[in-house]
């Protein structure tokens, strides 16, 4: 009749993002007072098919690649033939 609550953490990696998500299942086992064994697999309770038995908990990770570049030019003199321009670039991934 006891209820125990546990918490676990997981740090998302670039491989997880590349894969598009993380899946997690927990299995628990215990020994009964009579020396037998019992076990259960975690349920996510949210799969939409009406069956919550032994569901993998899935977390979708959006993959939204983006790239931007900003260019600037600096010249402190009047520009004419032979003027050397210096360009600067800021690239963000």
Q: What is the CA radius of gyration of the chain?
A: 28
pLDDT score, position 21:
93
Lookup: tokens for 19: 């894969």
Q: Whole-model pTM above 0.85?
A: no
Question: Which residue shows structure tokens 């628990």?
Answer: 28
Contact 12, 18 (CB under 8 A): no
Contact 63, 20 (CB under 8 A): yes
Q: What pLDDT digit, counting tens, does each position of 14-59 carry?
A: 999 989 999 888 888 999 999 999 988 887 666 565 555 667 778 8
Beta strands per DSSP E along 9-67: 21-24, 27-31, 37-41, 57-60
């Amino acid at each position: 009749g006891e209820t125990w609550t546990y918490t676990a953490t997981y740090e998302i990696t670039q491989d997880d993002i590349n894969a598009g998500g993380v899946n997690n299942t927990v299995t628990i086992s215990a020994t009964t007072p009579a020396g037998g064994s019992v076990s259960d697999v975690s349920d996510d309770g949210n799969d939409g098919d009406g069956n919550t038995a032994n569901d993998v908990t899935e977390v979708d990770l959006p993959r939204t690649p983006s790239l931007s570049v900003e260019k600037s030019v600096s010249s402190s003199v009047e520009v004419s033939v032979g003027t050397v321009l210096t360009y600067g670039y800021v690239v963000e991934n």
